[in-house]
Amino acid sequence: MQQSYQQNVEDSSEKVKKAPNVEQMEYYAQLIHEQEPAVDDVIGFMDGVSLTSEGTSEPVVQNSMYSGYHSDTMVNNLFAYGPDSRVIFCAINFPSGWHDGSIMANILPYIHKKIGTYKMCVDQGLPRGGDAVYVLVGPISHTQAYQLAPNLCPYLLCFSNIYVSLCQASEWGMRGLQGTFPWCKKRLPSNHLMHKLVIQSIVLVHNFRMETVGLNPIKTVFDPEYERYISLSAYDRIGDITLTKMMCRLIH
C-alpha cells in the first residue's frame, strides 16, 4: 500500500512538471466552455500570492525580500489552476520586489509556447497588453470602459463580465491551497532553497489531493461529473478511499 501511495505521489510530481498536453488543454477548454458558452479558448485561471518568510542576515537578500506594502519579508508566486482544480503552471520563489506583472513578463514566452492559441484568465493585476494579449484575457477597468467605442462597448463589456466571473476560480484555488496547508500561513524558512522545496511540496501534494479526494470549489463548478458523483446515494469519496486502504492492508 505504501508503494502504491508513493507511486501516486510520483505520478502527480511528473504531471506538475509537465505542461498540459493538447488533449488536456482541449478538455479544459471544453469544461469552461460548458460553463460559459461565449468562451471557447480559456483553459485556466492565474493569480499571484505572497507568502511570509523569515528574515535573513544577508543585507542584499533581506532588502530584495522585504515588501514595503506588507511591511514584512515576503515571497511572491504565481499559480495557474485548471478547471479540474490542479495547478497546471506555477512561478514560485520570487523576491517581493518582483510584482506579479514582472514575474509574468519573464514566464510569458514559456506559457505562450506551451499553450499555443489558448488563453489564461487573469485579473487586472496582471498585464494584458503587448505580447500578453495573445496569452492572457481578463476584465477591463472602468477607465478602459469609458474609452470604448459606443458600438463595441456592449460586446466587450459582456466578455469583461464573463472574465470577472471566471477570475473567481483563481481565488477559490488560492483559498483551497492556503486553507489546506498550514505552511502557507506560517513563515517560510529564510533560506531561498528551502522556500522552493516547501512551495514545490505544497503544489505536488495539492495536485495529489485533487486527484484522490477531489474536494475543491473549482471542481464543483466546472466538472460535470462531480454533480453526478455526489448525487449517488450514500456517496462518500473520502470514506471510499479509506475503505480501499483498509482492504489493501488486510490483503497484504
> Whole-prediction pTM value?
0.78
Q: pLDDT of 98-145, one tens digit each?
A: 888 888 888 888 888 888 889 898 988 888 777 788 888 888 877 777
Q: What is the pLDDT of residue 13?
A: 37
Cα–Cα nearest to 123, from 63, 169, 77, 185:
169
Q: pLDDT of 92-104, one tens digit each?
A: 888 887 888 888 8
Q: pLDDT of 175-220, one tens digit each?
A: 888 777 876 777 888 787 888 888 888 888 888 888 887 777 788 7
* 125 DSSP assignment: T
* 53 DSSP assignment: B
User: Could you tell me which residues are beta bridge partners of residue 53?
Assistant: 188
Element (H, E) at 50: strand 42-52
In angstroms, what CA-CA distances link 10 with 3, 15, 63, 210? 10, 9, 37, 14
